[in-house]
Amino acid sequence: MCVMKTKRAIVGSVLGILLLASTILFVTYQLGILVPPIDIFGGMKTPERPPTRAQLQLIWHTPLPRQSEASGNPVTSPNGVVYQLMGTQLLGYDQKSGQLEYQRDLSPYGQLDPDSLKVDNDKIYITSLDGFVHLFDASADQTPQMSELPLPIATVNSGIVYSVGGSTDDVYKVTAYDGVSGKNLWRTNCACIGTQKPVIFNTMLYVLARSNTGSDSLLLAITKSGDLLWSQNLGDPNGQNTYRQLIITDSVIGILYTTPSDSGLITSVSAYDKSFGQKIWELKDSNHEPDFLTSDGNSIYTSFRSPHGFGVEAINA
């Protein structure tokens, strides 16, 4: 009898300990205290955690004028102001507070290209659709424009305006002008007709243009001082390709373009060597077409569409 009582006492003690332990585990789990679950047969398990998500915090919110719609995207600047084109009004908001700091009426300059808006060296540049680059002081919103250059396809960098074609003297040439004085700095013959703005990467200028002697397209590399390093035909003798975007990384030149096929238009991406402009690879798939390219300097990122929907992917250039 004593042995039976002893066994019952031991079993009762074990059950009591298990009940107490399970109660402690349950309470700590409910309180969020990290306690790994126990699998009797498999030992300790690593607790499964839901993926963490970034918590966005609104810094400021400023309503835009209701009488007109925003044109293009906001443009940030080194002077701490975010610029937004609203119809014919150029507005500037403080980046920290959202307070309106700048307002300029651009209606005297005709219809504007909102994608051309740029702030460089405390100067605001914007191109009108009649083919002029307009320059304004970024620190004073009531002063007249500083200069006006007849350059319809232009890129601004460090106060220099680079363009393909423009005035009569610039036909079939890549040119550079001082943005403030309008003085021509150099002209380089390219035997080409500008179709897109030049793209600047570090100390180099890259140009995508049409040949002036045929229907083929050209890719050129030029130094900021105007020295032509190389010019490469893109293999489009019939002029059927529509070149939509030129992007530069540390290692390659990427081009987004649309070309006709038996099944319709196909959008593809091609990459070219930066040293000589030789074609390296091409991504062409009617079931996986890119829409837009961007880069962090190392990889090319693209949004794409397919029969299964839309997505974003990285291309290791």
pLDDT in tens, 189-214: 998 988 889 999 999 999 999 988 88
pLDDT of 43 higher than 50: no
d(CA 300, CA 317): 6
Decide which of 193, 216, 239 is a domain's last residue: 239
Q: Which residue has the tokens 């550079």?
A: 176
Q: What is the pLDDT of residue 67?
A: 74
**Within its chain, how far is the Cα of 141 from the centroid?**
28
pLDDT of 245 higher than 80: yes
DSSP letter at 238 equals T
- H helices present in the chain, as ranges: 2-30
Same domain (yes/no): 213, 263: no
d(CA 226, CA 161): 12
Is residue 128, in this structure, part of any structural domain at all?
no
Contacts (Cβ under 8 Å, ≥6 apart) of 159: 120, 121, 123, 178, 179, 180
Same domain (yes/no): 245, 219: no
Q: What is the pLDDT of residue 39?
A: 43
Is residue 45, in this structure, part of any structural domain at all?
no
Is residue 164, in this structure, part of any structural domain at all?
yes
Q: Side by side, which strands form the sheet with 252-261?
A: 242-248, 252-261, 264-273, 279-283
Same domain (yes/no): 230, 154: yes
Same domain (yes/no): 266, 305: yes
Is residue 113, in this structure, part of any structural domain at all?
no
Q: Six-digit token pair at 301?
A: 């990122």
In three-state secondary structure terms, 15 is helix
Q: How far apart are the first and last CA of the chain?
A: 83
Sheet strands (E) in 214-316? 217-223, 228-233, 242-248, 252-261, 264-273, 279-283, 289-295, 300-306, 309-315
d(CA 283, CA 290): 9
Decide which of 184, 211, 239 is a domain's last residue: 239
Percentage of the chain lying above the pLDDT 90 cut: 48
Nearest to 247 by CA among 200, 303, 304, 289: 200
Same domain (yes/no): 233, 283: no
Q: Tell whether pTM > 0.85.
A: no
Q: What is the pLDDT of residue 6?
A: 62
Is residue 245, in this structure, part of any structural domain at all?
yes
Q: What is the pLDDT of residue 41?
A: 38
Name the residue range of residue 174's domain: 150-239
Residue type, 164: V
Tens-digit pLDDT profile for residues 78-88: 889 999 999 89
Same domain (yes/no): 232, 256: no
At 273, which CATH number?
Answer: 2.40.10
Q: Six-digit token pair at 161?
A: 């305006």
Number of domains in the chain: 3
d(CA 201, CA 310): 30
Q: Six-digit token pair at 246?
A: 């030129």
Is residue 212, in this structure, part of any structural domain at all?
yes
Same domain (yes/no): 235, 257: no
Decide which of 239, 262, 278 is a domain's last residue: 239
Same domain (yes/no): 232, 246: no
Is residue 297, in this structure, part of any structural domain at all?
yes
Same domain (yes/no): 222, 176: yes
d(CA 81, CA 93): 5
